[in-house]
Chains A and B, each alone.
Chain A
Amino acid sequence: MSGLRVLVGCKRVIDYAVKIRVRPDHLGVVTDGVKHSMNPFDENAVEEAVRMKQKKVAKEIIVASCGPTQSQETIRTALAMGADRGIHVELAKGEEDLQPLAVAKVFAKLVEKEKPDLVILGKQAIDDDSNQTTQLLAGLLDWPQGTMASVLEHSDGVLKITREIDGGLEDISVKLPAVVSADLRLNEPRYATLPNIMKAKKKKIEKMSVADIGVDVTPRLKVQNVVDPPVREAGDKVPDVSVLIEKMKEKGHLK
């Protein structure tokens, strides 16, 4: 095998450590002036591709992101981690509400163009928690899929994948080309170190618009209302263990 071409998807999302504020119009959350970073699961996806390249399993890593102008920073981070080149599908005004089906369609076109052997995406974005794009993309391409991957091994055109599922772990094999989604335990993503950050500035990022690709990204779902979760009620403080036992008995938690 001369080495796989890997297409990795990444998304710019609100940093997971930031306190989220619901917009006054209740149609979303405040994003202006809020710290954004690469979606954590996408970090795992990029890291896995870079490791495959280090092991000489992969020969080229293309990282792609659909998003506003600032998504370029996310692509640069991926390039600094070791991806070779980037594709930025820059969203125009009115296209900001990009939903999983639209993303899958865009990536299907990118697959047509770049002809990768493997597509790795993060299992879900932490802003919408959809966990759909990988599955939709696999369906559009009619490719096998391995989602929630926590172990990925390649040998002769076959991928052995361990999936994180509700009941535990599931081992499957898929034949390439395939679409895989990365889970948190797949790897520990590396930091972008300075020499690589500098090198990444010289790596190519191809820019294109949704119109250039020829995909209809009109949203099919409409968000009706966004609210904060209900406030947790304060607990009861008791002075000692005997009162605690009394209260637990009162509430029927103890016989």
Chain B
Amino acid sequence: ALTQDLDFYNEDWLGMQKGESKLVLRPRSTEEVSDILKYCNARHLPIVPQGGNTGLVFGSTPIKDEVVLSLQRMNNITDFDSGIGAIQCQAGTVLQHIEDYAGNYDFSIPLDLGSKGSCTIGGNLSTHAGGLRIVRYGRLRGSVLGLKVVLADGTILDDMTTMRKDNTGYDIKQLFIGGEGTLGVITEASLLLPPAPKSINLVMFGCKTFTDVVNICNEAKKQLGEIIAACEYMDDTCMLSVVDNLNLPYPMEEHYPFYFIAQTFGMNPAHDQEKLEDFVEGVFAQGHCADGIIAASRDQVKKTFALRENIAVGLSKADGNNYHYDFSLPTHHMMELVEDIRGRLRPWDDVQIATFGHIGDNDIQVQVIAPSDDVLSVIEPYIYARVTELGGSISSECGIGTLKAAVLPINKKEPLLNTMKLLKGTLDPRGILNPNKILLAEQ
């Protein structure tokens, strides 16, 4: 238990919100978590479960003086079946650590994201993190074989298994994946890991129009097929920010308004190379790109992918505040939304709009960089209503937390919202689990 130097636990990763918790508990086992919740539930003490504290929606830090339940000390990998690739570990295990451990057995992780070195698997699961590899490995919940969860009253739900299929009754564990710690605390996980690729490749294209990017993306998925491992998009505002602010090397001669990057994972370098060359030739012949590169070595793969991976860092160095949005949208509506926002921000002449995203998943992330937050009044709640109108999701990956709790009803209508409240009321009747995250407490 900690009562001093609590800044790390109280402040979110962006440094934008600070809670006033006076107590951080750091259990080492599921049983200890159970004891803590039993105690807190009996006394109506709200708690905030926390892993690596890398969330972007103010979901993992206290709003007031809730007790922080840090799972950071629960970082053991308890079992690994290297035949099937099933790993069992405690929720506080850092994702990078799982990757390194699995790497020794030629296995890898089914998700990859910028915060890999700090985020914990428990956090990834409770926020249902997205990342770069969905186009290859699917969403994280598909890789979950089992979970151990502690409910608000301390009850331990043990659904740990290494079995791929278990079709026996309601799949309760799925409720907690994406529950953002509001329905139960995940303490252990059993995951199916994919084999580590032997052949990693990358192609990048510079495009004059966004339609070109979409066309290339569709072609990539079709032609690269089973070896596709990432389909990413970024605009030149992003590219310039990483090249200028972070001094990363830029591989082409000229800049273009839009860029598409695909990464491939395979088991046979010659086979992958052939697929890539055919694909690239096709894209070039059909005139979808103005220029492009095929990374010729792992070093070039790393350096080029770094241009995409470091966008958040690059943009954070720009002058002004960063307002970040992550949406899912049909691709033909993406630029429509961007132009909408651009139009509304025209009265300000020192505002930048950067867009990027996992285009292979219909994901677009919009970052508005402005000197002050008066721009927010013309962006929100308009942008959420507009995205909903265009058939998209107001949060493709980052979740709701506190940041979007007030606008959730714009995107998720009554019956869905009411069912969420019903579940919350049943599983956490005293409202002690991460209150006011996702659903605002009705008092």
Contacts and interface: CB of A to CB of B under 8 A. Distances in A.
Interface of A: 15-18, 33-38, 40, 43, 70, 73, 77, 188, 190-195, 197-198
B296 A193 contact: no
Interface in B198-219: 198-200, 205
B348 interface: no
Contacts of B268: 33
Contacts of B280: 194, 197
Given A16-B297, A37-B296, A37-B299, 8 more contacts: A33-B268, A36-B269, A40-B297, A191-B295, A191-B304, A194-B280, A194-B292, A198-B284
B252 interface: yes
Contact of A17 (B249, B269, B292, B299): B299
B293 A192 contact: yes
A193 B298 contact: no
B98 interface: no
A194 B289 contact: yes
A77 B249 contact: no
B298 A17 contact: yes
Interface string B184-209: 00000000000000111000010000
A35 B199 CA distance: 6
23 contacts: A16-B297, A17-B298, A17-B302, A18-B298, A34-B269, A35-B198, A35-B199, A35-B269, A36-B269, A43-B297, A77-B296, A191-B251, A191-B296, A192-B293, A192-B294, A193-B251, A193-B252, A193-B292, A193-B293, A194-B293, A194-B294, A197-B280, A198-B284
Contact of A197 (B252, B294, B299): B294
Nearest to B283: A194
A138 B326 CA distance: 60
B253 interface: yes
B292 A16 contact: no
A190 B284 CA distance: 20
B7 to A, nearest CB: 20
Given A191-B300, A194-B280, A35 B200 contact: yes
Contacts of B249: 188
A191 B269 contact: no
Contact of B293 (A18, A43, A188, A191): A191
Nearest to A197: B294
Contacts, number: 67
Contacts of A192: 293-294, 296
B291 interface: yes
Contacts of A40: 297, 299
A189 to B, nearest CB: 9
Contacts of B304: 191
Interface of B: 198-200, 205, 249, 251-253, 267-270, 273, 280-281, 284, 289, 291-300, 302, 304
Contacts of B297: 15-17, 37-38, 40, 43
- Considering the complex of A and B, which 5 residue pairs feature the smallest CB-CB distances, nearest first? A17-B298, A37-B297, A191-B251, A194-B292, A191-B293
Contacts of A194: 205, 280, 284, 289, 291-294
A18 B201 CA distance: 13
Nearest to B200: A35
A188 B205 CA distance: 21
A16 B295 CA distance: 14
Contacts of A73: 273
B328 to A, nearest CB: 30
Nearest to A37: B297
Contacts of B267: 33
A18 B298 CA distance: 8
A37 B294 CA distance: 12
Given A37-B297, A198-B284, A191 B252 contact: yes
A188 B247 CA distance: 13
Nearest to B297: A37
Contacts of A197: 280, 294
Q: Which of B252, B280, B284, B294 has the most chain A CB within a 10 Å cutoff?
A: B294
Contacts of A15: 297-299
A122 to B, nearest CB: 13
Contacts of B200: 35
B296 A16 contact: no
A70 B268 CA distance: 14
Contact of A37 (B198, B284, B298): B298
Contacts of A18: 298
A77 B297 CA distance: 11
Nearest to A18: B298
A146 to B, nearest CB: 26
A190 B298 CA distance: 14
A35 B185 CA distance: 43
Contacts of B295: 191
Which one of B270, B296, B304 has the greatest number of beta carbons of chain A within 10 Å? B296
A132 B386 CA distance: 66
Contacts of A198: 281, 284
Nearest to B268: A33
Contacts of B273: 73
Nearest to A70: B270
Contacts of A43: 297
B251 to A, nearest CB: 4
A70 B200 CA distance: 18
B293 A38 contact: no
A16 B252 CA distance: 23
A43 B331 CA distance: 39
A191 B267 CA distance: 24
